[in-house]
A and B are shown apart, each in its own frame.
Chain A
Amino acid sequence: MVSAGALRVVRCGGSALCGARAVYLLCASGDFVKVYSVSTEETLRLMGGHADLVTGIRLNPQNHMQLYSSSLDGTIKLWDFMDGIPIKTFTVGCRLLALYTLASAEDSVFAVIPKKGERDTFQLVSVKLTKGAGQDLEAKELSVILDGVGASMKHIAFGREDAYVVSVKDVNLQVYFFKRKLLNRFSLSTVKTKGGDNRFSCVVCHPTEDCIATGHADGKIRLWRNFHHRKEYTYSTLHWHHDIVMDLTFSIEGTRLLSGGVEAVLVQWHNESSCQKDFLPRLGSPIEYISMSSDGALCCTLHADNRITIINSNLRFSRSIQGLIKSRDVKTGLVVDPRTKALVLNGEPGHLQFYSLQTDQQLFSLDIVQRQYIHQAGLRQSDLVKVAFSAQGTWLATVEESEEVTDPELQLKLWFFSEETQSFKLNTRINTPHDNHITDMCFRDMGELGDDSLILVTTGRDCVFKVWVMVEDTDPEAQPSVSWTCDFVGSYHNYQATNCCFSEDGSLLAVSFEETVTVWDSLTWDLKCTFCHPPGNIRNICFGRLTCSKYLIGATDYGFLCCWNLLTCALEWSAYLNIVVLQPDPLSEHIAAVSWLSKESSLFVFKPNEPRPIYIQRNLCKEKILLAAFVPRDEPEVISSEKYLWLRKSQLFFLTDTQELMTLSTKSLEERLTPSSKQLAVEESLPVTPLSLLLGKHRHQQAQEDIELGKPVVHNKQEQASPAVKELLHTPAHVLPSASFLCTIFINSLLISKEKKGAEEVADEIEMESEKAEDDSDEEYVTAMEQEDTSHMELLGEMTCKLSKSQEKELRKIRKTDYSWISAF
C-alpha cells in the first residue's frame, strides 16, 4: 500500500546499438533496468527481477540485443531488452559491485566482489557462465584476476583488444596483462602538491592504442603510455577541472576524450592535447557518469540530480530525460499547484520544479533565483525556501535566501500567471522583506471573492509577521498594473513568529509565536485570542475545514497534538504524539498527521471534531517523513472500505529524508497490471508508423465486422497472442533482421492455434482489456510507482484488502451497472 515514487538512478550503462543508430538508452535505476527511447525520451521498458540494487549493466558483446545486469543480490541476469524478458539468471552467491563483459571472453564475464573475510577489500573475478538448459543457473566458477581493486565501476577498465585490465585505487594504478600474466604497479606520490589531492577517481582505456586515461580528485587527467615497462612509463597531464573528475570516456575512434565533474561542464579533449578542447557548459548539475553510444553518434551524461542528458557527437545538447529532480534539500515543502495539480518543490538549484504525478514527468522548471549557478564547494548559494500559491493558482509567492546564517540575503518574489504565455511572470520583488529568516508564508484563500481579498502573510524570525496586499498603480492613463506592498506588521511579545495559517473563510489568521498561537481578525488586524499548551513551542498549526472550521489544531515540539475550539476558546482535546507533519486535506475535513517515534513514522488521520483518529497506520516507513501533501484527484475514487474513505477525494504523498516520494494507495497487490498487459502499454508508446496506422484501421474494421458476425473470441485471442507481429510492424525497417529470417516467425504467429480456451477465460481477458482502456493515466502512474518498491509492500502486506480477484470483479461489475433508474422513484 505504500510505494516509493522517486526514481533513483544509480548507474547508466550505455546506450545500445541497433542497426546504425543508437535507439535505446539503458539505465540501471534502483532495482530495475530501464529502457528509454532516445528519440522520444519515453520509458519503453522497465525490467524488474533483481531483489536489490542493480550495480552494473553491460551489453552482451556476442549479441547486441542482449544485456547482462548484476545486482547486490548476487545474481547476474541476461535480458532480451527488446522484449524486456529475462533469458537467464546466474546465481553467483556474493554481492556483485560492478560488471564487465569482454568480446574475447565468450563464456565469462568479470565482476567485482568483496573479498571473503576482509572488509572493504574487493577483488576482480572472472565468472564463468555455465551453459545450461534451464533459466536459473549457478555460476560458482570464480577465478580471481586482481586483488585490492576499487569498489566502483569506474575504477576498472579493460584495454585495447582486451589485452590488459587496469585498476585504480587511491594513488595506485595496476595493470594486468592477460597474455603475459604480468602485473605492473605504478603509484603516484602521496605528497599533496599545492593542496591538491591526486587520488584516482576513474580510469578508461583508449580503444585503439595502448593508452590509459585516469581522472583524479584534484581535477587533473593523466594519460599513461608505455606502461608495459615498469620504469620507463610516461604520462602527460591535462588540467581543466577544478575539482574531482567524475568520469571519463573515449570516443569510439579514440580521438576525443570526454570528461565531466562537479562543474556541470562536459569537456571534450582533442587528440589528447591540452590546448585543443571544447566545452558544453551549464548542464545543470554535477556530471556523475558519461557514456558513449556504440556508434559514437550520441553521448549521454548522468547527473547528480536524477537526470540524463543526451548530447550529440558535435557536442550539442540534444535532449534530456528527467523525472523528479533530486534536490539537495527540499526546503519549500510539497506544494500542489492548483492549476495543474502538479507537485511543486525545489528542483535544480534556484528553480522550482512542477512535477506531474500522473505522468511522472517534469512539467516545467521555473527559474526563481535567475542567477548564474556556480558549482563550487564552499560557495554560499541562494536557494528557494518557501513557496505559496493563491487558491486559483494565479499568484505564486516565493522566498529565496542565501545560505548565510547571520545575514540572509532575503528576497520575496510575487509571480503572476500570465494566460498568454502560460507561465509565471515576475510581478514584484521585495528585498529583505524581513530582517531575519522567513519561517512561513500563506495566502488568504478566498477564490470566489476575486483578487481584492488576496492577502499574503509572512512570518519571520525577526519576531513579526507582515501582511502584504496588492495595490494598483496610480497612473490613470497607463495600463492598470498591480504591485504588492506591506500593509500591516504585527508582533506578539517579541517572540519569533513560526507559523501562519488562514481559516477557511479567510476571516481569521492564526500566527504561532514560539509557545503561543495568536488568532487575529483579518479585517481589522486585532488580536482576538491566544492559545498555548506549555511547555514546548508550536511546530505546526492548521484550521479545520468544512464542518470542523471552528477548530484550530496545533502540534508542539514537546509532543502534543492539541485541538482548540475557537467558539469557546477552550482546549477541546489533546493527544501525546510527536507530530512532525500536519497536513489538512483541502477537499475534506480530514487532517493527516505524521508522527516520528524511534525510527519509524506513523500516520494518523483524524477529524478535528473527534479525538479518535479514523485511520492509523503504524510503521509507515523506516525513514523520517519530512513533508506531506494532499493532491486532489481528478475524480473521486470509489473506495469500498470504510477505513479508506478519507482517500476518496485526494491522495496523500510523503517525502522522506532520503528524498523518496511515497503515496498511499488502496489498490491491492492483485490489481496491479500483469506483465503482459504492461508490455502492451509499452508498445503503445512506441512511435506510430504509417504501417501501424494502416494496420490499426484495418484491424478496427475487422473487429467491427467480427462483432457483427458474433465471433469475437478467436480474433481477440490471436491479437493478444502475437506480440511478435506487433513488434515486427512497429520496429523501423532498418533495424529489422533480414526478411527471410523473420518470415517463419511471422507466418507462425499468424496461424490460429489449435488449443481452445474456455469462453469464460477469454471473456475475462476482454474485460481486463476494456478496463485498462478505461483507466486513465492516473492509474498507470500508480502502478508504475508501485513497482518501484516491493519491500514496503511486504511490510504492509497485512493491511491489504483481502478481496480475491473474482470478488473484486464482481464489485466492479456492480459499480458499472446503471442504477439511474432508482432515481426515478
Chain B
Amino acid sequence: MAAYKPVVVQACPKLGEKITQDTLYWRGYKEGEGGPATPVQIKEFGAVNKIDFSPVPPYNYAVTASSRIHIYGRYSQEPIKTFSRFREAAYCATYREDGRLLAAGSEDGSICLFDIGGKAPLRQFEGHTKPVHLVGFLSDKYRIFSGGDDYSSNLWDIPSATEIISYGEHTDYVRCGCASKVNADVFLTGSYDHTVKLFDARTKSSVMTIEHGHPVESVLLFPSGGLLVSAGGRYVKVWDVLKGGQLLVSLKNHHKTVTCLCLNSSGQRLLSGSLDRHVKIYSTTSYKVVHSFNYATSILSLALSPEDETLVVGMTNGVLNVKHRKPEEKNENFQKKRQPAYRTYVKGRTYMPKQEDFCVSKPVKRVLRKYDKLLRSFQSSKALDAVLEPPIMLHTPEVTVAVMQELHRRGTLRSALAGRDEKQVNLLLTFVARRVIEPRFTPVLVTVADMITDIYQPVVGQSAIVDKQFLKLQEAIGKEINYQEELLEVLGMMDTLFATFTKKTDKCLEENKSNGVTEIVGTNRNY
C-alpha cells in the first residue's frame, strides 16, 4: 500500500548567477558597515597607485596618491596621519613586517624611509635616476629593494643607507615586485619588458626569468614561496617557481589590463583588479572565478586587510572605496537560542532498546501542504483556492501551476475553475495574464486560459474589472506571439550564418551498391 504522493512541483533551475558559499561570503563585504549607513568613499588628490595594510593590529593602511601618503584607521574617514614631504608624486608606500617603518619611492628617483610615529624621513636612498615605482622590504627587515624607470632594480642597506647591489637586467621600466617571505635574500621584480625576474641578493645576476608576454603590472608570491602570480595585459598567470618557472595556469577573465593582485589571508582566494572596473576573485585550487565586484571606475590598486576584515580599492579618479566584512556574531546568538530545543528533541532518541523490551512504533506523521491535503480528499476547488492565495501565487507560481496541472490531469480543472465570483476570476486572470508567457508555465496556463474563456464567456461585459483582465490577457498573448515571430526570424538568420560557417566535409562516401541513398545532411549543434 502506498502513501499519498504529494504533487510534484517542478523545480526550475534559476537562471543567472548561482548562489554559492563564495557568493554569500563575498557579499558580506558591505560598504560602510562600521559607521552609519554612509558608504566609505574617500576622495584622494590623485590616482591611488598603492594601498598597503599594516601587518600589525589595528591594521591601519597607507594609501599613496599624488604626492602624499595618507594613513587611515580601520573605520576612519579622515587620514590619521599624512606624509607630505614629497616634492613630486610618491609611489608605493609599503609597511615593514613589524609595521613600524614605511618606505616609499618618488618621482625624482629617491626612496624615503619613514618612521610611523615621525614626520620627516629617517633615511633617504639616492641612486635611481628616474622615478621609483617599486619599493619593498626584504623579510630580514634590514634591506630594501626597489625598482625604477631607469630599468634597474636595486638593493639597499637600511642602517647605512647605502646601495648594496644594482641589477640592470630589465630592459624596460620596473613597475612591480615582491619579496619572498621564506627566504630573506629572494625578491622578484616585474617589468614592462614582459618579464618577471627572480633575484637572489647573494648572487650578481637574476636566478630566474619568466616571460609573461605582456607588460607586467603586478606580481605576487604565495606565502609558501612556491607559486608566483603575475598580472599584465588582460592576463593573470600563475607560475610554479620550484619547477623552474613553469606556467601553471593562465587566466583571462578581464577585458582590460589587470593592474593589481592580492591574496586573502588564508591563501585560498586570489583577487585581481583591472582597468575594466572589476575585481575578480579566484579560487586558488581550481582557478575559477568564484565572485566578482563592480566598481565605478578603473581600478589601480587593491588590498585586503590581514584578517580579511576590510577590502580597499583605489581607483584612477582618486576615489578610495572601503568595504568592511559583516561580523558573524548574529549566527552565534541564534544557535544559542536554539540549543535547548534541540536537546529536548534529541532526548530519548539515542536510547537503545533492550532485547526484552517491547517496542511500540509510532507512525511518522507526514506533513502535507494544504493543497495536498485537499487534493488527497479530492476537493478540487478548495485546492485551487489554496494555491491562489497571494503568498503562494506571487512567490511560488510554480506551485500554483503544478496544482493546476494536477487538476487537469485528474480531469477536474474545469469544475475547479467554474463558479467563481468577480474577485476570484480577477485574481485568476491576473495570474494567468502575467505568467502565461513564461515558457515553463505556458502549456498549462494556455489550457487554463482556454477554460476560463469558455466558462466565463457568457458573463463577459457584466464586470468592468474582469473585462479589463481579459483585455490584458489578450494583449500579453499578442505581444508574446509577435516576440516569437521575431525570434524565429533571428533564428533563421543565424541558421544561414551557421550554414556558411560549417566546413563542407568533402569526404567521399563510398557508393552504396545495393542501395544508393547517400546524402550529407546539414546538422546543427544544439547547446
Nearest Cβ in chain B — how far from A219, in angstroms? 15
> Contact size class for A?
35 or more
**Interface flag for B509 (CB, 8 Å):** yes
B514 cross-chain contacts in A, Cβ below 8 A: 531, 570-571
**Interface flag for A233 (CB, 8 Å):** no
| The residue from B5, B507, B512, B524 contacting A531, defined by CB atoms under 8 A apart | B512
Task: Scan A468-496; emit 1 where CB is below 8 A from any B CB, else 0.
Answer: 00000011111000000011111111000
Tell me whether A309 and B1 are in contact (CB under 8 A).
yes
- A selection of 5 A-B contacts at a CB cut-off of 8 Å is A378-B411, A431-B10, A477-B21, A529-B510, A569-B511
| The residue from A475, A488, A489, A529 contacting B509, defined by CB atoms under 8 A apart | A529
Complex CA gap A604/B465 in Å reads 72
A281 cross-chain contacts in B, Cβ below 8 A: 4
With A372-B375, A477-B20 already in contact, the answer to whether A527 and B3 are too (CB < 8 A) is no
Tell me whether A282 and B512 are in contact (CB under 8 A).
no
Nearest Cβ in chain B — how far from A765, in angstroms? 44
Complex CA gap A533/B510 in Å reads 17
Task: Scan A268-287; emit 1 where CB is below 8 A from any B CB, else 0.
Answer: 00000000000011111000
14 new A-B contacts at CB < 8 Å, known A372-B376, A493-B521? A282-B2, A317-B1, A320-B1, A371-B406, A372-B4, A476-B286, A476-B290, A477-B20, A477-B283, A491-B521, A516-B517, A526-B505, A531-B514, A570-B512
**Interface flag for B160 (CB, 8 Å):** no
With A379-B410, A488-B526, A569-B510 already in contact, the answer to whether A533 and B515 are too (CB < 8 A) is yes
Complex CA gap A379/B515 in Å reads 47
Smallest CB gap from A431: residue in B: B10
Complex CA gap A493/B522 in Å reads 10
Tell me whether A280 and B409 are in contact (CB under 8 A).
no
**Interface flag for B97 (CB, 8 Å):** no
**Interface flag for A698 (CB, 8 Å):** no
Interface residues of chain B, those whose CB is within 8 Å of chain A, are 1-5, 7-8, 10, 18, 20-22, 283, 285-286, 288, 290, 375-376, 406, 409-411, 440, 443, 505, 507, 509-515, 517-521, 523-526
A431 cross-chain contacts in B, Cβ below 8 A: 10, 440
Tell me whether A376 and B411 are in contact (CB under 8 A).
yes
Tell me whether B3 and A282 are in contact (CB under 8 A).
yes
Nearest Cβ in chain B — how far from A694, in angstroms? 22
Complex CA gap A528/B8 in Å reads 43
| The residue from A382, A487, A530 contacting B518, defined by CB atoms under 8 A apart | A530
Tell me whether A489 and B518 are in contact (CB under 8 A).
no
Smallest CB gap from A282: residue in B: B2
Nearest Cβ in chain A — how far from B404, in angstroms? 13
Nearest Cβ in chain B — how far from A134, in angstroms? 48
Nearest Cβ in chain B — how far from A377, in angstroms? 10
Tell me whether B513 and A370 are in contact (CB under 8 A).
no
Tell me whether B519 and A489 are in contact (CB under 8 A).
no
Complex CA gap A376/B286 in Å reads 55
Tell me whether B1 and A283 are in contact (CB under 8 A).
yes
Tell me whether B1 and A569 are in contact (CB under 8 A).
no
Nearest Cβ in chain B — how far from A368, in angstroms? 12
Tell me whether B3 and A525 are in contact (CB under 8 A).
no
A382 cross-chain contacts in B, Cβ below 8 A: 409
Complex CA gap A228/B456 in Å reads 56
| The residue from A317, A320, A475, A530 contacting B20, defined by CB atoms under 8 A apart | A475
| The residue from A284, A379, A534 contacting B1, defined by CB atoms under 8 A apart | A284
Tell me whether B517 and A532 are in contact (CB under 8 A).
yes
B511 cross-chain contacts in A, Cβ below 8 A: 569
Nearest Cβ in chain A — how far from B408, in angstroms? 9
With A486-B526, A488-B523, A490-B523 already in contact, the answer to whether A282 and B283 are too (CB < 8 A) is no
**Interface flag for A137 (CB, 8 Å):** no
Nearest Cβ in chain A — how far from B291, in angstroms? 11
Tell me whether B285 and A476 are in contact (CB under 8 A).
yes
Interface residues of A in 538-557 (CB under 8 A from B): none
| The residue from B10, B22, B512, B524 contacting A489, defined by CB atoms under 8 A apart | B524
Complex CA gap A1/B302 in Å reads 83
A492 cross-chain contacts in B, Cβ below 8 A: 519, 521
Nearest Cβ in chain A — how far from B518, in angstroms? 6
| The residue from B2, B22, B443 contacting A284, defined by CB atoms under 8 A apart | B2
Nearest Cβ in chain B — how far from A97, in angstroms? 32
| The residue from B22, B406, B512 contacting A530, defined by CB atoms under 8 A apart | B512
Complex CA gap A267/B430 in Å reads 42
| The residue from A380, A525, A528, A570 contacting B513, defined by CB atoms under 8 A apart | A570
| The residue from B22, B410, B507, B519 contacting A526, defined by CB atoms under 8 A apart | B507
A376 cross-chain contacts in B, Cβ below 8 A: 410-411
Complex CA gap A255/B513 in Å reads 81
Smallest CB gap from B526: residue in A: A489
**Interface flag for A374 (CB, 8 Å):** yes
Tell me whether A571 and B515 are in contact (CB under 8 A).
yes
B4 cross-chain contacts in A, Cβ below 8 A: 281-282, 372
Tell me whether A493 and B515 are in contact (CB under 8 A).
no
Complex CA gap A320/B375 in Å reads 27
Smallest CB gap from B10: residue in A: A431
Complex CA gap A431/B286 in Å reads 32
Tell me whether B5 and A476 are in contact (CB under 8 A).
no
With A282-B3, A372-B4 already in contact, the answer to whether A493 and B513 are too (CB < 8 A) is no
Complex CA gap A493/B290 in Å reads 45
Smallest CB gap from A572: residue in B: B514
Complex CA gap A489/B525 in Å reads 6
Q: Which of B1, B8, B20, B411 gathers most chain A CB within 10 Å?
A: B1
Complex CA gap A527/B3 in Å reads 50
Tell me whether B523 and A489 are in contact (CB under 8 A).
yes
Tell me whether B518 and A370 are in contact (CB under 8 A).
no
Complex CA gap A378/B411 in Å reads 9
Smallest CB gap from B405: residue in A: A409
Nearest Cβ in chain A — how far from B324, in angstroms? 24
